[in-house]
Amino acid sequence: MSSPTPDDLKNELEKLRAENERLKKGSSRAMSLKVSEKGGVSVYGLGRFPVTLYKEQWKKLLDMSDEIRNFIAANDSQLKSKE
């Protein structure tokens, strides 16, 4: 077996970069729900790690949705966006 040529290495690097970009873009859009091992609800796709809460915690959080939206609107100038 001969060692790869510089052109082979360059082509492979370009393929890997393109695949990496595709994976980055795909993961940011896909959100999913799963039941955790301990019986919580885990939301995947918001960040690097899942957000996991028990059903009572999710219900409390969802009940506060209007308050959270109002808080975000009132503090918009201080909040950062991750994009």
Considering the domain architecture, whether residues 42 and 65 belong to the same structural domain is answered as yes
Q: Is the pLDDT higher at 5 or at 28?
A: 5
How confident is residue 19, by pLDDT bands cut at 50, 70 and 90? Answer: confident
Considering the domain architecture, whether residues 40 and 10 belong to the same structural domain is answered as no
Considering the domain architecture, whether residues 39 and 18 belong to the same structural domain is answered as no
Domain range spanning residue 67? 31-83
Considering the domain architecture, whether residues 9 and 20 belong to the same structural domain is answered as yes
* Distance between CA atoms of residues 80 and 14, nearest Å: 33
Considering the domain architecture, whether residues 36 and 48 belong to the same structural domain is answered as yes
The number of distinct structural domains making up the chain is 2
Considering the domain architecture, whether residues 44 and 77 belong to the same structural domain is answered as yes
Per-residue pLDDT tens over the stretch 51-81: 999 999 999 999 999 999 999 999 999 999 9
Single pTM value for the model: 0.60
Cβ-Cβ contacts under 8 Å for 45 (sequence gap 6 or more):
27, 28, 29, 30, 31, 32
* Distance between CA atoms of residues 53 and 70, nearest Å: 22
